[in-house]
Structure 1
Amino acid sequence: MEHILDNPIYHALISGHNHLAKGAEEVKYYSEDIAAFAGLKENSQENLDTLYQISPKDSLFVFFSKTPVEIPEKWKLLTHIDMFQLVFRGSEIPIADASGLTELDLGHVSEMIDLVELTKPGPFLIKTIELSNYTGIFADGKLASMAGHRFFPSPYREVSAVCTHPDYLGKGYAFKILQEQIKRILLRNEIPFLHVRNDNDGAVKLYQKLGFEIRTDMIAYVIKKEALEA
């Protein structure tokens, strides 16, 4: 039987994030200003065709798969990213020190986007902050590190946009923010999980130190909708 985390985006869009979902019964996607992600009940050619038909012109989507997927020619495959999916297996709620953390809001979005553009943790759009619980650390008057929540395939909650400005690496900022993120999720009786590039050894070790374990491999496909020639 398929685990809901084998298809986290689709299950988020039919459960915890169903109020943010657009699309059809077996093909869902987030509002384009919130997140560039699509979830298909099955990663089939038929469903990719449906996504093409029902999505806006020039749409760009990221979708996840545990196994390789052949992308129909009508889509332009921009890239694919090999990742690990990790799930929190810790036995205790972290005793997180929240001092120095800032609750990020709409007034911080431009700085958040700048940090994401610099560090490339994954897509972050003008309304991604609506996915909730973004916290950051400021140093020298600028946003130095942040993380927040993304997919919510209930009862699992994804920690995402984990990034630190290169000038502030090695100061423990990400560790502190992640402890707070984990604590908040566990206090809601949810289970933290996340995704990371499988070649990012430093991040993987940090997550494992915090209590995450690798659950499975995952592939992120980035595809763009291009007009068919007449």
Structure 2
Amino acid sequence: MTHILDNPVWNALNTANKELGKGNDQVKYYCPNISPFAGFRENRQENLIALHGFLGKESESFALVSENKMDISEPWKVNHIIPLFQMVFDDAIVPKEIKETITDLTEEYIPQMIELAKLTNPGPFEERTIDFQHYQGIFYENRLVAIAGQRMHVPPYAEISAVCTHPDFRGRGYAIQLMASQIKRIIGNGEIPFLHVAVDNVGAIKIYEALGFRKRKEMYVYVISKT
């Protein structure tokens, strides 16, 4: 039986993230200044061709999330294939106590958020990624040094994303504190946290498992652009 998280981009853009995307009844994509992800009702060649039709209007490339390996050919080229683990929070786990001061990030902090994301590369982070909402950060002497927020919202699941810490401030537990805050927020809304992590990011996987996340399925991200 198909699970709603097997096709997270498509299902998010047809539910809670509907207002953040564009497309038609077979192909949908986030506004490029929010996120580069696109999703299909079904992984078919005609949908890849239809997605190509959106090129030049707003974006030159897209990222696809699939539970299966995809056969992608003309009119696309594959720039990267990133194997991921999709991890879901075990609701039997009690989130860790939050000790740091957590700040809700508003539009005034966008330049600092983008600067930190470019430095640490937690995944795509665009000018309007903040429109996913629920971004939070930790500051050190008025300097943003760690962030975490939400991306795909697939009720009853909400994805924790863009978890990153400035290299000079790693080892202080800031990411864990922000993760705990996000977990509590999502659970408080009656939903279930989930996330995606590269399969070779062993350190992050250990942290997520310690926080109560369990591997659900291996997924793939295809970063594609026009030939």
TM-score bucket (shorter structure): over 0.9
Measured in 2, the distance between the counterparts of 1:206 and 1:146 equals: 16
Measured in 2, the distance between the counterparts of 1:202 and 1:154 equals: 28
TM-score by length of structure 2 reads: 0.95
Stretch moving more, 26-35 or 52-61: 52-61
Runs of 4+ in 1 over 6 A off after TM superposition: none
TM-score by length of structure 1 reads: 0.94
- Superposed counterparts of 1:81-230, under 5 Å: 81-94=82-95, 96-97=97-98, 99-226=100-227
Measured in 1, the distance between the counterparts of 2:215 and 2:181 equals: 20
Q: In structure 2, give the amino acid aligned to 1:4.
A: I
Quote the sequence identity (%). 46
Structure 1: runs of 5 or more not aligned = none
Q: Is the 8 A contact 1:93 1:182 kept in 2?
A: no
> 1:94 Cα deviation (Å)?
2.4
Label 1:98 to 1:36 Cα distance change in 2 as closer, same or farther (>3 A).
farther
Measured in 2, the distance between the counterparts of 1:56 and 1:175 equals: 40
Deviations, residues 64-92 of structure 1 (Å, cap 9, x unaligned)? 01111111221122111111100001315
2:11 corresponds to: 11
Measured in 2, the distance between the counterparts of 1:200 and 1:160 equals: 15
- Superposed counterparts of 1:39-54, under 5 Å: 39-54=39-54
Measured in 1, the distance between the counterparts of 2:153 and 2:173 equals: 27
> 1:200 Cα deviation (Å)?
0.6
Structure 2: runs of 5 or more not aligned = none
RMSD of Structure 2 on Structure 1 (CA): 1.4
> 1:225 Cα deviation (Å)?
3.0
> 1:98 Cα deviation (Å)?
6.0
